[in-house]
Amino acid sequence: MAQYFRNIYETIATVLIGMGVTFRHLFTKSVTLQYPREQRELPSGTRQKLFVNIDDCIGCLQCEKACPVSCITIETIKAEKDEDLGETSNGKKKRMYLTRFDIDMAKCCYCADCVFPCPTECIYMVPEFDFATYDRNDLVFRFSNLSDEKHKELIEREKAKEAAKQQPPEAN
Ligand code: SF4
Ligand code: SF4
């Protein structure tokens, strides 16, 4: 019989203690946010989406070599001697056409190893983390800004140079 009343007492006490906790929190400031409508400001240095300021890229491949998961793919074609590609904003001469500069963010492990070796500081993380998608192909970000025509022209030029190299030297 005593156990019976103890059970009733413990049940009521437990409910009252629980309700007390709930009641107290009615008057304290909420710590949750209505994401995505509200977003918390992330600390500086947070590792997020990568961005490449392609106008400052010299095609040195340092970032590609540093990446531990091979998610950066860069293809370059050297400019001819008489072609001036200009300079980067920190005064480095640009000598390479960037026919491809892709970053597969689906593979990226956000280590930032690609950021530090860049001599022109043109690859960096931007404050964007919410870029989930249904198709993983949409996570390959392409930064080359060459037009299709220019890209085609450069590829043709390289092929022609390659073919010329294969020709046997003319007999005297
Ligand atoms: S952050 Fe790391 S994994 Fe991602 S692209 Fe850069 S080096 Fe590769
Ligand atoms: S390290 Fe910098 S300059 Fe070199 S290829 Fe990568 S982004 Fe371009």
Q: What's the confidence (pLDDT) of residue 57?
A: 98
Residue 110 Cβ contacting ligand 1 at under 6 Å = yes
Q: Which atom of ligand 1 is nearest to the CA of 115?
A: 6
**DSSP symbol at 106:** T
**DSSP symbol at 167:** S
Domain ranges, ordered by start, for the chain: 49-145
**Mean pLDDT, range 74-82, rounded to an integer:** 95
pTM of the complete model: 0.81
Q: Which ligand places an atom closest to the C-alpha of 104?
A: 1
**pLDDT for residue 44 is more than 90:** no
Residue 9 Cβ contacting ligand 1 at under 6 Å = no
113 CA distance to ligand 1 centroid (A)? 6
Query: What is the spatial distance between Cα 172 and Cα 169, in angstroms, rounded to a whole number?
Result: 9
Q: How far is CA 22 from CA 16, 18, 25, 34, 161, in A?
A: 10, 6, 5, 20, 77
Q: What's the confidence (pLDDT) of residue 172?
A: 53
> Quick one: fold of 49-145?
Alpha-Beta Plaits (3.30.70)
**pLDDT for residue 116 is more than 80:** yes
Query: What b/e string do you get for 34-51 counting C-beta neighbours within 10 Å, with b at 16 or more?
Result: eeeeeeeeeeeeeebbbe
**pLDDT interval class at 171 (50, 70, 90):** low
As for ligand 2, residues whose beta carbon falls within 6 Å of it are 52, 57-63, 74, 117-120, 122-123
Pull the structure tokens for residue 108: 């990226």
Q: Which atom of ligand 2 is nearest to the CA of 121?
A: 2
